[in-house]
Amino acid sequence: MTDGQFYKIFGILTVGIIIIAIIIAILANIFASYSFHPSNQYKTEIENSEQIRTEPEGKINLASNPTIKQEAPIVVASSGPISGKDIYNNVCMSCHTSGAAGAPMIGNSSQWTDRLSKGKDTLYANAINGIGVMPAKGGLSSLTDEEVRAAVDYLLDESN
């Protein structure tokens, strides 16, 4: 074998070894990111499905949302006390009919059971003083405590 032939064979073997090393490096990189445990293979899919499964069923539209036009409800003044039904229709209906901001809905007795277990006096106090995002007296401060109690009684009568 001559020196030229030796260098030619040596060069071919060197290039072959380098190509094999590159292929091994690429395969090692591919298999290093692959996990044989099923939970690791589908981790992002599992996280996405958990996010979808645990997100709230409805969106709460609070007063801080600029798409809601905030206006005080108009209640016509009368010479006597206003009935609980009239107060409900003018002040309370917007939230307690739709369940906005988590308000218990009229006619849905299961939503009122837990609240009733605390007693009517607690319900009256919460309606008069406000609770959570519900303002005191439903946002109409000109109502008397007796009128608010009448509205609460109407809500409870319609929900049982």
Alpha-carbon distances of 102 from 62, 93, 95, 119, 133, rounded to whole Å: 10, 13, 8, 20, 9
**What is the gyration radius of the CA atoms in the chain, in angstroms?**
35
Can you tell me the distance from the alpha carbon of 138 to that of 70, in angstroms, rounded to the nearest whole number? Answer: 13
Residue whose token pair is 């003018």? 90
pLDDT, position 19: 97
The percentage of the chain sitting over the pLDDT mark of 90, rounded to a whole number, equals: 14
pLDDT band at 137 (very low <50, low <70, confident <90, very high): confident
pLDDT, position 76: 56
| Residue-averaged pLDDT of the chain | 79
Of 41-50, 63-72, 103-112, give the lowest mean pLDDT range: 63-72
pLDDT, position 120: 83
Q: Is 73 in contact with 137 (CB distance < 8 Å)? A: no
pLDDT band at 21 (very low <50, low <70, confident <90, very high): very high
Q: For residues 122-150, give the mean pLDDT.
A: 85
pTM above 0.85, yes or no: no
pLDDT band at 13 (very low <50, low <70, confident <90, very high): very high
pLDDT, position 9: 94
